[in-house]
Amino acid sequence: MIRLNNVTHQYVGMKEPIVRVDTLSLKKGERVALLGPSGSGKSTLLHMISGIFLPTTGEVTVDGYHFRQMKESERDAFRAQSVGYIFQDFHLVPSLTAKANIELVGTSTRLSEWFQRVGLEGKEQRYPHELSRGEAQRVAMIRAFIHEPSLVLADEPTGSLDRKTGENMMHLLHELTKEEKVTFLCVTHDESFAETFPRLLQMTPHEKGGMTVQ
């Protein structure tokens, strides 16, 4: 499903890459946590896996697509069709209802079902400011799943939630990703959340500088 070979990413002005990955593979349907401190390159790695930008060197392949061989517009189209993204700060449009925020991504006959599944039945017409932070994150989760992606990426999805809400959110994410049979890669700095995953990867210092995945 996901394969990285000899990948580095170096930002302009930096003396060395922030991320180096000699090799990394994730199988279809795996649920994997990526654990590491802030600034270790976790989000950078997600951006390469989603095709938001290309690695400085090396090759990223997702679901049979070789990103380096694709135009930016082709990567954008792939991401819109095949990748669901969940962010720490939700990224909901304040002037749109919960339902309308999801419909920015796509419509579905399953929309009412999804609101029921995440415990938001009856709140479809609420605006983001009328929702709790946990409810707003559940709207963002529906948005990530609604177009039936093969891959869901979560970047610190519990980072702005209190402990109990975060635990409930992570439990729900595990349930949904298993039921929908998607590959799930979740970035977190919280070790207790990371340990709930069947597979745990960690960002560690690379011998040549920067961070790598082990």
What is the side-by-side strand order in the sheet with 31-35?
65-66, 57-62, 2-9, 19-26, 211-213, 199-205, 31-35, 183-188, 151-155, 83-87
Percent of the chain with pLDDT over 90: 90
**Alpha carbon distance 76, 198 (integer Å):** 30
pLDDT-derived band at 39, boundaries 50, 70, 90:
confident
Q: Largest Cα–Cα distance in the chain?
A: 54
Question: pLDDT tier at 95 (50, 70, 90 boundaries)?
Answer: very high
Q: What is the mean pLDDT of residues 185-207?
A: 94
Mean pLDDT of the region 42-47: 94
- Average of per-residue pLDDT across 199-211: 92
Reading the block at residue 16, the tokens are: 């060395």
Residue range 54-70, pLDDT digits in tens: 999 999 999 999 999 99
Placement of tokens 């061989």 in the chain? 69
Lowest mean pLDDT among 23-32, 106-115, 189-198: 106-115
Q: Per-residue pLDDT averaged across 156-173, rounded?
A: 94
What's at 184, amino acid-wise? F
pLDDT over 90 at 1, yes or no: yes
Query: Tell me, what's the pLDDT at 30?
Result: 97
Mean pLDDT on 161-183: 96
- Average pLDDT on 47-60 reads 96
Residues linked to residue 211 through DSSP beta bridges, in sequence order = 19, 205
pLDDT digits (tens, 9 = 90+) for 105-160: 888 889 999 999 999 999 999 999 999 999 999 999 999 999 999 999 999 999 99
What pLDDT shows up at residue 186? 97
